[in-house]
Amino acid sequence: MNDIQKKLYDAACEVQKRAHAPYSGAHIGAAVLMSNGAIYTGCNVENASYGGTVCAERVALWKAVSEGAPKQVKEVMVISDADKPWPPCGFCRQVIAEFGSEDTMIYTANLQGKMKTFKFGDIFPEAFTPKHLD
C-alpha cells in the first residue's frame, strides 16, 4: 500500500468499528479521498426495515458533500470484516458515478490487509452520470 492507501485503510478500519449491523452482521467501513485532499469516512447503518439501510460508501460521500468538500472523489477504500474483500454494491457505484470519474480508484480490503484495486470505469462501465442529463 502506498501512503494514501494506508491513510484511507486506517480511516476505514477505524470507522468500521462503529457500523450498526445487527441484521447482516457485516461491518463495513469506507473512506473517500476528495479532490481537495480531505478524507471522509462512513460505516454501514442497518435498519429493521432493510430499505432504510445505508452503505458505508454512501455515508462517506454524503458526509463529504454535506461538509462542503469539492464534489469530486478521487479514491474510495471499502473495508469489510469478511475473508474476501467486498466491492461497492450497485447503489454505491451509482453514487460514486455522481461524484467520481472512470479514473476514480476503488480499493477493497479486509481487516487482514488483503486488498484489491480497481479503476471505477472497470467495475462500472457505461455508468449513468450527470452528463447524460445535459
pLDDT digits (tens, 9 = 90+) for 55-101: 999 999 999 999 999 999 999 999 999 999 999 999 999 999 999 99
Structural domain count, the chain: 1
Cell of 8: 484511507
pLDDT digits (tens, 9 = 90+) for 11-50: 999 999 999 999 999 999 999 999 999 999 999 999 999 9
Q: Provide the pLDDT for residue 28.
A: 98
Residue 103 belongs to domain with CATH number: 3.40.140.10
Q: Distance (Å, rounded) from C-alpha 117 to C-alpha 108?
A: 7
User: Is 36 a member of any domain?
Assistant: yes
Domain with 11, as residue range(s), is 3-126
Q: Provide the pLDDT for residue 18.
A: 98
User: Is 22 a member of any domain?
Assistant: yes
Q: Provide the pLDDT for residue 123.
A: 97
Q: Provide the pLDDT for residue 128.
A: 93
Cβ within 8 Å of residue 43, ≥6 positions away: 15, 16, 17, 18, 19, 20, 27, 28, 29, 30, 56, 59
Q: Provide the pLDDT for residue 37.
A: 97
Q: Which residues are catalytic?
A: 57
Q: Provide the pLDDT for residue 41.
A: 98
User: Is 93 a member of any domain?
Assistant: yes
User: Is 132 a member of any domain?
Assistant: no
